[in-house]
Amino acid sequence: MKKILANLVTVLGVLFSLTGLFGTPLVLHQLPISLMLPSDGETSHQYLRAVPAELPWPEYLPYIFILVGSAMLVAGIRLRLKIRALRRN
């Protein structure tokens, strides 16, 4: 059970860190822009219109995700190492 918890904390830490990383301005402007269908009523000729992607959260939130995710990742790895050391003894 402890090993499952350690793996879960590690995976959640990675997901939080990646979510935060993708929300930073440096990476956000490098991601592909979202594509939307036009709403002009032309059914014979549909084309895609590029719209810049924006995230619906404050500017500081990605950095909090990175910090929390990194802390969870380190905690998960330390817990796994502690469990492994207990099994060897």
- Residue 81 pLDDT grade (very low, low, confident, very high; cuts 50, 70, 90): very high
Domain ranges for the chain, please list them: 2-88
pLDDT digits (tens, 9 = 90+) for 20-71: 988 887 777 676 655 444 555 554 445 555 555 565 778 888 899 999 999 9
Identify whether the C-beta of residue 38 lies closer than 8 Å to the C-beta of residue 47: yes
Does 86 have pLDDT greater than 80? yes
What's the pLDDT at 31? Answer: 61
Identify whether the C-beta of residue 23 lies closer than 8 Å to the C-beta of residue 62: yes
**What gap in Å lies between CA 50 and CA 42, rounded to an integer?**
17
- Residue 2 pLDDT grade (very low, low, confident, very high; cuts 50, 70, 90): confident
What's the pLDDT at 55? Answer: 59
